Amino acid sequence: MIVDVHGHVSAPEALYAWKANLLSHRGAHGVRAPKLTDEQIRDAYHAPNASFGNVSHFHHLDGAGVDIQFLSPRPYQMMHSEQPAKIVEAFTTEVNDVIHRSVELFPDRFRGVAGLSQSMDLPIEQWLPELRRTVTELGFVGVLLNPDPYEGLAVPPALGDRFWYPLWEALVELGVPAILHSAGCRPPAREPYSLHFIQEETVGIWSLMNSRVFTDFPELKIVVSHGGGAIPYQVGRFLPSGVRNGATPYLEKLRSLYFDTCLYTQDAIELLLKTVGVDRALFGTEKPGTGSQIDPATGRWFDDIHLLVDDIEWLSDEDRAALMHGNAEALFKL
């Protein structure tokens, strides 16, 4: 059994053509979503895609033996920093609806993870109705959280700031985890969005570890994408902080979080598991996505993370079962 907690929706091109129109007229022509058919949505998962190595979404999942994948919005598409806020809300709602329809069409393969309308032109309380709708009405199992809704244009409140407390309260009330995953990155930023993901996840962990969030919300569950940004691999820089003034050891604090295995080398995955523990790790691939290219050195897809895990000799059978499905089943109440 393999449960992949890090997947993104494959959607008909008509969805993104509508988004392009929204960005062109900024809502002046209304924000009515396109009428997508079930056939269009099915085809998005079965048709070969040049971005995914010229094979389909299902080709990747079947080849990797993935039984259940969590679908969330494609983060770089979410345009949280665009204006006016109504186009962010409209696009987020429609993407969530497409995810829900994907789950309904393929109920044995997918579970929904919601996007939020994270426009900083809205009070955070206005993000929450869509969270509640997707969880209570659509049956989503979690929510994707962007720690930088400005997408590089300004400095947002750090995740330890009380700004985020209404969201933490809602997540605890609904009993669903947040999956920490940054979104786009706009000029004049120095980095592309893929590097921005890693940087924001790193800053997000640092902020949470230096805050009262898990003291104030002990039942809050957060999964950090891409193996926790840079933190598990630079953890030595933070260990002294746990010695100063009798503070909680840093590795102990780090285990307040969960981490996915969306890392494309065996060494990185092993270091993650040794740093945070197998019990805090969840299998995740982002497949198909950035890693969906063939590695000429091995002939494998870079995002064949199941094969990288298979190659870790020191994992016990119990470790493998927990990592590949058990931890996700418990955390997300599957």
Q: What residues act catalytically?
A: 286
Distance CA 191, CA 207 (A): 21
In total, the chain counts a number of residues equal to 334
Distances (CA, A) of 208 to 61, 158, 220: 33, 8, 12
Contacts of 173 (CB under 8 A, 6+ apart): none
Instruction: Spell out the residues 6+ positions from residue 215 whose beta carbon is closer than 8 angstroms to its own.
Output: none
| Three-class secondary structure of residue 241 per DSSP | helix
Say if residues 233 and 206 touch (Cβ distance below 8 Å).
no
CA distance 330 to 314: 23
Find out whether the peptide bond into 107 is cis, omega within 30 degrees of 0.
no
The amino acid at 59: H
155: its two tokens: 């400095």
C-alpha 268/C-alpha 290 separation (Å) is 17
Residue 30, phi-psi category: left (phi > 0), alpha (psi -120 to 50), beta (remainder): left
Distance CA(91)–CA(16), nearest Å, equals: 9
Of 184, 195, 163, 174, the residue nearest 130 (C-alpha): 174
Q: Are 118 and 127 spatial neighbours (Cβ–Cβ below 8 Å)?
A: yes
Q: What is the CA radius of gyration of the chain?
A: 19
**Two tokens, residue 248:** 């909680």
Residue 135 is classified by DSSP as I
* φ/ψ of residue 298, rounded to 5: -120, -20
